[in-house]
Structures are given as C-alpha cells and as structure tokens.
Structure 1
Amino acid sequence: MLNSYKFFYSFKVKIVLIIISVLLCLVFSLKVSANSKNNGVILCDNHGEIIYSQNINQAFIPASTLKILTSLGAIYYLGEDFRFKTEFFLDKNLNLKIKGYGDPHLTSENINNFCRDLALILKKKNVFIIKSIIIDNSFFSSSIKIPGTQNSLNPYDASVGAFCVNFNTIFFKYNLVKNKFISAEKETPLTPFAKKIVQESNLKHGRIVISKEESQIYAGVLARYFLEKQGIIISEKVKLGIVQKNDKKIFTYKSFYNLKNIIKKLLKFSNNFMANQIFLTIGAKAFSPPATLAKGIKAMENYAGNELNIKKIKIVEGSGISRKNRISPKEMLKILKGFKKYYYLMNNRKNEYFKTGTLNKICTRAGYYTNKNMKLYPFVIMVNKEEYQYRCNHIIGNLQRIFNKIIN
C-alpha cells in the first residue's frame, strides 16, 4: 500500500511539473521573442527535456558557438590530457630543424623557455654554431585556406600553420620618446623581420596578423633571436625544409597546457586561430598527417553523427567564422548534452555558463543556466536577422526570466 502511495504521489508531482512548464511556455512564448523564422530558441529542464522552444529544427549560422563542438571533438579524438608538441633535430650539416605539430597556444614566452633548454642541450654536444634554422611545416597541408577569413590585418583572420607563434599576430606600438616602433609585449622582441611587417601596415599601434608566407618562418625568427641570446650562433637565415630520416632528434617540447586548459582559453577568448589549429589537428589524428580541412570536416562529421546522433549539420571549418556553417537549435542541444561534463570550461557569469557567437547580423548563445544546487539547464539562442544584437539581448533577458520562474 505504501509503495502504491509513493508511486501515485511521484506521478502527481511529475504531472504538476509538466503543467507548470506548459503554462510557463504559454505565458512567456510571446514575450521571449516574436514568432519569427529568424529566431531559434530552446530552454530545457535539468534533465535535458525541452520546456520552451521556437524553430528548433531550422538551420542557423552558429558563429562561435560552433567552438563547443570543436572542443568536444578534440576531447574525443585527442584526449583530455593531450599536449601539443614541437620537435627539434640536428642534421649532419649542423642545421637545427624544428618540426611543428599545430600548437595553438605557442607564445614568445614558450619559445624563450624551450630555447634555454635547447641551448643547454646543444652546448653539451659542443655545438655552439648552427648553420641555419630549418622549419618543417609538413604536419599541415600548405594549401589550407580557412573559409570565412579575409585578407585583412584583423587577428580573427589569422592563417593557420604547423609551427606558429603568438596566434600569428604582432602586437606593437609607436614610442614617441624613442621615435620608433616597439613591441607592445615585454616577452616579444620586435625583430627586424617583424618591424618590416609593422611598417608596411601603415598603423601606429595595434595587433595585426602576419601573412601566410610570413607566418611560415616567423616562429623560427623568434627562436633564432632567443637562441642567440643564449650564446648560440646561427650563420644563415631561417628557411623552410623537411626533417629527414637520418636527422637526429635532440629535444621535444611539450606544451605547459593540457587540452582542457587549451579549451578553457579557447572558449574564454573565442580565438578563431586556436579553434582551427585544434580542428586541423583532429583531422590529422583521425586520418593521419598532413592535416587538411577535408580531414577535419570528415572527423567532426563522423563524431557528431556517431557519438552525438547529430544528423543535420554543415561544417566547413572549426571556429564558426564562416557563414556556411549550419546547425539547428535541436542539434546544438545534443552538443550541449555531450559537453555537460565540461560545462565549467565555459565562461561563467552569475548563474550562467555560456559561449556566445557574433557575426554581422548574427547573434548566438548556448550554454547552461544553473540553480542553487548547480543543476544544469541547457539553453540555445540563435538569431540571424536585422537588429540582431537588440533582438538577441531581448531573448536572453526573457529566457533568463523564464528560468528564474521555473526554479523559484
């Protein structure tokens, strides 16, 4: 008898909750946003069941919310504790060869640190003079062009590569006292190579991208600078080449950051360069080097379909910069359900963990609301329309009010 009572009580509670959810949807459906084909909205309960929705099957441009899928795919293919590496070789002519593997977060500080270690290794081998630094970029295909990027100086248009530094950008300013350009980063010298690029930009300050051709050797130029500071002489210019079988590996640098650390930085700063470095590395892992866009796309489509049961999605790159990417709110919800374990890697504000996306006339947002017990309530907002920012902010505010009504 007691068991029957518990069953019916539990059943009644569920019915009441369903009725409340339905009433809330009826009351707030018109307030969240006008019923427009340009808006897609989902709000779920903490079990992932939809309690409010609008146009959930319509495909929208996801913008940077696509980075959630890229992050999830990276964890699947590479592993949470994966660390990007860079390898160093000496050939018989005492050329130092550096082979990159797509590290998305290689900075001047990192290069300075591994050059100190590398200099010690060279000196122990009685090598104080190097003929040349040769950069092997063969882990990435040389023909990669990220859809959606333009030939601009904006950092979000940075090209990708196997061995790149500082997100393929140069940060500089003009010093009026010294009457010359200087680096805006204390860890990064403004080498003659970089100074020439800055002067050609016709700008007085800022962060600019370097061209694909320049990015092929720029990290090597910085490596040369830091090695010379350690007393290693380099006779010739930095150039491109390939590691050969007979070249001797003398050192492997592994990133200080594991993949989860990298993803947290990716989602915080929404860096397109980082996203596509990861995206391409996924393709190389799944289908062997060299990394190509086609391999990255195929790997991500396979993961989305086989692991997340996503049937309708169009992926052309991994950052969301391309307007050719397409996904529906319903399919984005599947991504959020998969990412639930890693929600804490997202940006956090009050009771919300989220990732935003913005392009011209595009505003998106996806993530989780939380209650006082830290239960997660997934939500998706996609607006592809004129006055997109106002409309998106309006939806965000009203969706938050719906959520507050539910938990209170």
Structure 2
Amino acid sequence: MRLVYALKSLILITLLAFSACIEKSTENSAPAISEQSKDILESNINPSDTFQLSERAEDVALAKKVDEIISNSDLADARWGVFVVSLKDGRLIVGRDIDRPFIPASIMKLLTSMVAIDKLGKDFRWQTKLLSTGRIENGVLRGDLILYGQGAPDLDDASIRILVDKLKQLGIRKVQGDIVGDESYFLADNLGDGWLWNEIQWYYGAEASALSINLNQAQIKLNDGRPSFDEFIQAYFDLQTPRSEMPDSIGVKRELCQNRVYVWGTGRNLNVKIAVQNPALWAARILKEEMQRAGIQVSGDIRSVNWRTANRPEIKMANELALIDSKPLSEIVYRMNKHSINLYAELILRTLGKKFGEFVPEDDPKFREVRADDRAGIAVIKQWLSEHEITLHKSEAIHDGSGLSRLNLLTPQTIGRALIAATKIKDSEVFLNSLPIAGKDGTMTNRLHDLSGKLIAKTGNITSVASLAGYLNLKDETLVFVVLSNNVYDSTKANELIDKLVREISLLH
C-alpha cells in the first residue's frame, strides 16, 4: 500500500508540473531586450552594497503587511523568507529571515544561468561529433562509429539525421563495426547530489549525460486502451477496464537503473513522460536506425561507454567524420528558465566544471584528486559569487545546478544579491529576457496576470517548497524580490500566497 500511495502521489506531481515545464515550439529564440530590462540595467546598486532596513513609513507598513499576510494564512507554520530591495536607492524594504537558509528549488537555476552567461558567453555552443578510429575503404567504414557527446542539451532525432546526411556526403555506405554512444566527456555522476530516488523515474529527474538526446525523456500513452511508447522502453501493462462512472486510477513505475516500466490499475487513457535510463545507448540506437533508413548498412550492434568503462575508445586518436553544433547558450538559457528544464541546468553545470574547474581550487582536500565535473561546476559558481562580493554563509550549500536537490540551502539575501550582480554582467539582457513574464509565458503563464509587463521572475516548486524571485517594475523604481517558503503542505496554496505577497509589494507607493 505504501508503494501504491507513493506512486499515485508521484503521478499527481507529474501531471501538475507538466503544463509548467512543456516547451512551446513558437519560443525558439530569445527576444530583443525589453523596456523593463533596460530600466533594470540602468541601476547603480551593487551586490556588495550594505542594505539598511528602510525606516520610511510606507516601507515599514509594507513589511508589516507582509508579516500579517503570512501569519493569517493557512501556511503560517511554514518557514518564510522575504527579501525586497530597491534598485533605485538600495533601500531594504522587506527583510524577513533574509539570512536564514532555505531550500530554493528551481530558482537555483538563476545562479546557474547567470554564471554560465558570464563565463561561457551568450554565443557558446556545444558540439556532438561522429568519430572513428577505423579507415574508410570503398564506402565502407572498417571500425566502430562513435557518437561522442559533449553535453549538448538540445540534441534530438533531427540532429542525428543531419549527422547521417554528412556521413552519406562522405560516401559511407556501410559500417563494419558497432555504433558506440560515448558519454565519457563528463567525469561526473549523471544524477544530482541529493535527488530523491522516486523522482528520477520522471522526466524532470532525467539524468545529465554528456550524450543526451530528446531531453532524455520518453512518453507512455494510452489512448482508449491502446498503448504507445518508444521501443527503447520495455513497458508492461496490467490494466482493467473501469466502470463508466469511475475515474481512471493508473499506477506507473520505472525500475531503478532500467528502462522497464510497469503500468497497472484501472483505466483506458494515460499520458506521462518518464526519464530514459542510459540515454547514450538510446542515442546510439537512434543513430543506427536513422543510418539504416538512409541506406547505410551497420554490421555491428549498439553499445554505450562512459568515463568508468574499461577499454573505451581513445577519443584523441579518433578521426572526426562529422559534427553538429547546438543552439547558442542564449537560446538554451532562454528555454531553461522559461520552462524550468532541469536537464539543461545540470548539463550547463557540468560544462562549467569541465571548462573552468581546473582554475578553481577545491575546498575539501579529500576531493582534490577525484573531484567530478558537477562538483567543479559548483565550485565555479561559488567562486563567481565570491568575485562579486557575495559571501556564502557556513549554513549555505549548493549541490546541483537545477534546484531538484533537497541539499541545496541558500538565504533570500544571497539570491537577491545574485540578482543584482546579474544586472552587471556582460550580456545581462540575455539573462533578464530568459525569465518568465508574469501572466504571459513559461512557468508564469497562469500567474499574476495583473502584473504582466511589470514582473519577470523565476519560479521554484518541489515537494514542500515553493519560491519566486525576480524583478518588479513600479512606477518610479524597480525592485529585486525573493520569496522562499519551506515546509509547505500544499504547493498550490503556497504559490497563491506568494502571488498575494507580490501583489501587495507591487502596491508600494
């Protein structure tokens, strides 16, 4: 009974979150800088400034009202942190528990994205390559064909077809060898530190492989009792037909470290997304299938390798046959923040570690020689904060790039100061334009419609956590705000209360 209850809860969580995370095909590129972003960029407030709690009557009244709204709510027993500062004069308008650590959830992506834009640059692109140590003779590649991933977040079936077309242009008609999906570029765990085991089966817990494809997620559908799913997934159905007056009650369970999925219960319709285990092998399979469709024969099998695999291909000795670039970082960050895509954040984190980790010392000597790329990426973020004179408290901790980890702990003030720092970086408009617009797009589509055009902010929601942080444009000043809540029993009510608080803040003056 405990398992069934947990799975029903997970399905409910998935369905609630699905509409907030699905991407819209019309949003493929970042727009030009908005008027609100221009106002933010003109601020002369710095993250290192000392913020004094305002004594203005209207500010004091607002801070008191914020406390009253929380105290009179059904969520008064939860933990609440609220940080509001003016970008006009640096007044600390609301400062509720701003130095206490909170689990931030997905507003952790704010830090990941601002550091990535500043360090990698908006035009940075990832590459995915086709390599081989074999030779080409009379249209035959004698040796394994290696699909080598370097962390591209947006590799998909269409990308694979482009690579296959490039093989055909080389005159390759047959591969005498295996198709190898190589994810060894990252020396890191594919799952984040502190992720819950019962979340990694769902699309938002997809593993961060250096060779990721199709967001490392696959759909399982039932349409009037007829199942459909990718053949890479082994799905087993044990379903009964419900009585006409009964709602569907369906359980879904993907085994840990396997792509075996069980679907059971009573019902005829279902549409869920699950995380694919071993996406590098999935990518190799897709490549082989696309090659065969294009008329390129493959005599061998598919397999995958990672940094732990013995006798894996020597990449430095391989010949490059074809490559494809990802979309630029500006577009990746835009999609990541608009739709809160965890996979993108984790791949960016590992890329930061891979590119800059060697220049950042390791605090813990135990990890000096064995530090993985994800941990190195976290060190890069911490160093960036330090360079902008944002000092983490001893109680604060960063454990992933997406915010899915329950081990992340940040104070409202740290996040608020980081938002100020983001206005000072090169290409800061790329960061600002990636944030969801209230009542208009991304995860803010259905929230705070009355503040559309005035508010841009990143949402955060995991079990027992709700958060919102961003910029609020008033008549004569722009505010940086952070609202964090932990130990909330109802995420819908928590989001409603956060919106109520933000509306109250918007009435200042």
Residue 41 of structure 1 contacts residue 329 of structure 1 at CA under 8 Å; is this kept in 2? Answer: yes
Q: Is 2:484 the counterpart of 1:382?
A: yes
Q: How much does 1:253 deviate?
A: 0.8
Q: How much does 1:270 deviate?
A: 1.1
Partners in 2 of 1:76 and 1:308 — Cα distance?
Answer: 16
The C-alpha deviation readout for 1:150-191, integer Å capped at 9, x for no partner, is 2542112211211011121112324669x5x435xxxxxx3x
Partners in 2 of 1:377 and 1:22 — Cα distance?
Answer: 12
Name the aligned partner's letter for residue 403 of structure 1: S
Give the equivalent residue in structure 2 for 1:62: 104
| TM-score, normalisation: structure 1 | 0.83
Give the equivalent residue in structure 2 for 1:139: 185
Residue ranges of structure 1 left out of the alignment (5+ in a row): 1-16, 184-189
Partners in 1 of 2:271 and 2:498 — Cα distance?
Answer: 37
Partners in 2 of 1:294 and 1:307 — Cα distance?
Answer: 20
Aligned 1:207-286 pairs, distance under 5 A: 207-211=273-277, 214-240=278-304, 241-255=312-326, 257-286=327-356
Give the equivalent residue in structure 1 for 2:357: 287
Give the equivalent residue in structure 1 for 2:197: 150
Q: Is 2:138 the counterpart of 1:82?
A: no
Aligned match for 1:304, one of 379, 385, 391: 385
Q: How much does 1:388 deviate?
A: 5.5
Give the equivalent residue in structure 2 for 1:114: 163
Pair 1:26–1:170, CA change in 2 (3 A): closer
The C-alpha deviation readout for 1:340-391, integer Å capped at 9, x for no partner, is 3322210001021111111222111101112368x63210001113445435
Partners in 2 of 1:242 and 1:149 — Cα distance?
Answer: 33
Residue 66 of structure 2 contacts residue 501 of structure 2 at CA under 8 Å; is this kept in 1? Answer: no
Q: How much does 1:232 deviate?
A: 0.9
Q: Is 2:419 the counterpart of 1:330?
A: no
Partners in 2 of 1:356 and 1:198 — Cα distance?
Answer: 36
Partners in 1 of 2:281 and 2:412 — Cα distance?
Answer: 42
The C-alpha deviation readout for 1:176-222, integer Å capped at 9, x for no partner, is 69x5x435xxxxxx3x4x143577312364211122xx323111111
Give the equivalent residue in structure 1 for 2:403: 320
Name the aligned partner's letter for residue 85 of structure 1: Q
Q: How much does 1:292 deviate?
A: 2.5
Partners in 2 of 1:142 and 1:282 — Cα distance?
Answer: 12
Tell me, what secondary structure is at the counterpart of 1:284? helix
Tell me, what secondary structure is at the counterpart of 2:471? strand
Partners in 2 of 1:269 and 1:198 — Cα distance?
Answer: 31
Partners in 2 of 1:225 and 1:37 — Cα distance?
Answer: 52
Name the aligned partner's letter for residue 219 of structure 2: F
Give the equivalent residue in structure 2 for 1:7: none
Q: How much does 1:84 deviate?
A: 1.1
Q: How much does 1:332 deviate?
A: 0.7
| TM-score, normalisation: structure 2 | 0.67
The C-alpha deviation readout for 1:282-333, integer Å capped at 9, x for no partner, is 1011125995222122112111222352332310111111111111111111
Give the equivalent residue in structure 1 for 2:59: 22
Give the equivalent residue in structure 2 for 1:3: none
Tell me, what secondary structure is at the counterpart of 2:378? helix
Partners in 2 of 1:150 and 1:393 — Cα distance?
Answer: 29
Partners in 2 of 1:150 and 1:269 — Cα distance?
Answer: 23
Residue 154 of structure 2 contacts residue 215 of structure 2 at CA under 8 Å; is this kept in 1? Answer: yes
Pair 1:108–1:149, CA change in 2 (3 A): farther
Aligned match for 1:196, one of 231, 234, 240: 234
Percent sequence identity is: 22
Name the aligned partner's letter for residue 40 of structure 1: G
Pair 1:144–1:206, CA change in 2 (3 A): closer
Tell me, what secondary structure is at the counterpart of 1:86? strand
Tell me, what secondary structure is at the counterpart of 1:44? strand
Name the aligned partner's letter for residue 28 of structure 1: K
Give the equivalent residue in structure 2 for 1:8: none
Pair 1:41–1:388, CA change in 2 (3 A): farther
Residue ranges of structure 2 left out of the alignment (5+ in a row): 1-53, 135-141, 238-259, 264-269, 305-311, 359-369, 439-451
Residue 33 of structure 1 contacts residue 395 of structure 1 at CA under 8 Å; is this kept in 2? Answer: no
Q: How much does 1:225 deviate?
A: 1.2
Give the equivalent residue in structure 1 for 2:70: 33
Residue 310 of structure 1 contacts residue 334 of structure 1 at CA under 8 Å; is this kept in 2? Answer: no
The C-alpha deviation readout for 1:229-262, integer Å capped at 9, x for no partner, is 111111111123424443211222101x211110
Give the equivalent residue in structure 2 for 1:46: 87
Residue 381 of structure 1 contacts residue 396 of structure 1 at CA under 8 Å; is this kept in 2? Answer: no
The C-alpha deviation readout for 1:38-88, integer Å capped at 9, x for no partner, is 110012223253212211111111011101001112112211110111111
> More helix per residue: 1 or 2?
1
Name the aligned partner's letter for residue 348 of structure 1: I
Q: How many residues align?
A: 373
Name the aligned partner's letter for residue 265 of structure 1: R
Give the equivalent residue in structure 1 for 2:433: 344
